[in-house]
Amino acid sequence: MAEKDIIDLRSDTVTLPTQEMMEAIKNAELGDDVLEEDPTVNRLENIAAKKMGKQAALLVTSGTQANLISLMANTNRGEQVILEAQSHIYWYEVGGISSIAGLFPKTVISRTGAPNPKDIQVAITPKDIHFPKPSLICLENTHNRHGGTVISPRQILAISKIAKTNKLKLYMDGARIFNASIALNVDVKKLAKHVDNLMFCLSKGLSCPVGSVIVGSIEFITKARKLRKVLGGGMRQAGIIAAPGIVALEKMIKRLKEDHENAAHLAKELSKIKGVTIDLNRVQTNIVNFEISNLGISDKKFIKKLKEKNILALTLDNNKVRMVTHRGIKKENIDKTINIIGNISN
Ligand SMILES: *Cc1c(COP(=O)(O)O)cnc(C)c1O
């Protein structure tokens, strides 16, 4: 992005703020947000809460901080949290769920990121002197490691019923919830409706430079605000972060469709390359995971060869490669990428 001829497919986090965002930053009305006096932050939080159909919202520094704060605000130390085995919280957040929140993670394996309600029911340990007390279920929508797969309102509802029956809270890591909303063609409120609280990232496909937002009840957000402070996330004139966030929520959501179309195009063309294995059913949003075991080249070498051609991608494990589409990627970039991968295989 910064360098024009680089095709950066590593993540949608590489998106740079739009001109309109830069203007909004420059013109933002500011105050001290620890004192809840930054009018731009307050406006963003109001817009976010309304958009999700929840009572309140809180701007935080990152998705990782949003998840950590939410874990802590939904539980007490020593309790059990049920989450999908490939979830971001479990894999990519430095184990903060245990080292900072003091929680015991219990994983549930799923095929595409949406846990089967029955498996969740089984994972909930009964009341017993030996077991940690289960208190929270976490969902991830879209699901990052599963390749940007979506969880539908119907699936969320089924899990929420189990949460209610067992008196557990239900939280959603919705880092890319707007991608899910666009892909499913449902209002994001419907995805938020049956969870107690959730977070989403401004800094990914929505193109903001910084920030994530937690949404939930007033009581939950009040707790979250205090936790944000103890974790060092209390910011002062945070309006400079909130201002592009407002632009994101008002103007950047609909265009995610373009990213999904580019991802679908990339996936379809990849599926025609001999040696590439890809499950097209799993390419539902802006993430494309594929396997290159039969290409006769290691994943590290594959990435290196792409890099020589100014194309950046990431490896997962087991010869898996990940490519993510975003505002900085146009259809012609996809075509060029396909061309180059086609030649690597030869
Ligand atoms: C990116 C991501 C996060 C963490 O966000 P950061 O801002 O990078 O800390 C959390 N959950 C999911 C599903 C993500 O994709």
Burial of 165 (0-12, 13-18, 19+ CB in 10 A): exposed
Q: Are residues 287 and 178 in the same domain?
A: no
Q: Are residues 166 and 240 both part of a single domain?
A: yes
Q: What is the pLDDT of residue 3?
A: 55
Q: Given a cut of 80, is residue 345 above it in pLDDT?
A: no
* Distance of CA 200 from the midpoint of ligand 1 (Å): 9
**34 & 124 share domain:** yes
- Ligand 1: residue of 13, 173, 206, 213 to mutate (most ligand atoms within 8 A of CB) is 173
Residues 116 and 38 in one domain: yes
Show the ligand 1 pocket: residues with CB < 6 angstroms.
62-64, 67, 88, 140, 144, 173, 175, 201, 203, 212
What's the pLDDT at 94?
Answer: 98
Distance 54 CA to ligand 1 centre (A): 21
pLDDT at 2 over 80: no
pLDDT in tens, 30-69: 999 999 999 999 999 999 999 999 999 999 999 999 999 9
Q: Provide CB contacts within 8 A for 153, sequence distance 6+.
A: 184, 186, 190, 191, 193, 194
Share of the chain above pLDDT 90, in %: 96
Mutating to test ligand 1, I would choose from 12, 83, 88 the residue with most ligand atoms within 8 A of its C-beta, which is 88
Q: Are residue 89 and residue 164 in the same domain, yes or no?
A: yes
Q: What are the tens digits of pLDDT across the range 244-289?
A: 999 999 999 999 999 999 999 999 999 999 999 999 999 999 999 9
Q: Which candidate, 264, 229, 251, 246, places its Cα nearest to that of 334?
A: 264
The encoded tokens of residue 242 equal: 């909130």
Domain tally, the chain: 2
Average pLDDT (189-206) is 98
Residue 192: pLDDT band with limits 50, 70, 90? very high
- pLDDT classification of 1: cutoffs 50, 70, 90: very low
Domain that holds residue 308: 3-14+255-345
Q: Is 234 exposed, middle or buried (0-12, 13-18, 19+ CB in 10 A)?
A: middle
204 alpha carbon – ligand 1 mean position (Å): 8
Give the residues across from 81 on adjacent strands. Answer: 105, 136
Quote the ligand 1 centre to 222 CA distance (angstroms): 22
DSSP 293: G
Whole-angstrom distance, CA of residue 342 vs CA of residue 7 = 16
Which has more pLDDT, 296 or 313? 313
Question: CATH number of the domain that 297 lies in?
Answer: 3.90.1150.10
In terms of C-beta density within 10 A (0-12 exposed, 13-18 middle, 19 or more buried), how is residue 318 classed?
Answer: exposed
The stretch 132-146 carries a mean pLDDT of 98
pLDDT surpassing 70 at residue 157: yes
| Percentage of residues in the chain having pLDDT higher than 70 | 98
Do 230 and 124 fall into the same domain? Answer: yes
pLDDT tier, 317 (very low <50, low <70, confident <90, very high otherwise): confident
Given a cut of 50, whether residue 22 has pLDDT beyond it is: yes
pLDDT at residue 160 in the model: 98
136 and 56 assigned to the same domain: yes
CATH of the domain at 224: 3.40.640.10
Q: Give the end of a domain, one of 235, 251, 267.
A: 251
Task: Give yes or no: residues 48 and 94 share one domain.
Answer: yes
Q: Which of 144, 171, 202 to mutate to test the pocket of ligand 1 (most atoms within 8 A of CB)?
A: 144
91 CA from centroid of ligand 1 (Å)? 11
CA distance 46 to 198: 15
Nearest 10 degrees: CA dihedral of 187, 192, 193, 194?
A: 140
339 and 272 both lie in a single domain: yes
Q: What is the pLDDT of residue 346?
A: 56
**Of 222, 251, 280, which closes a domain?**
251
Considering 251, 276, 307, which residue would you say is the last residue of a domain?
251
Query: 64: CA distance to ligand 1 center in Å?
Result: 6
Q: State mean pLDDT over 10-15.
A: 97
| 86 plus 129 within the same structural domain | yes
Residues 71 and 127 both lie in one domain: yes
Per-residue pLDDT, 29: 98
Residues 223 and 279 in one domain: no
Instruction: Please name the residue whose Cα sits nearest to atom 4 of ligand 1.
Output: 63
pLDDT recorded at residue 318: 81
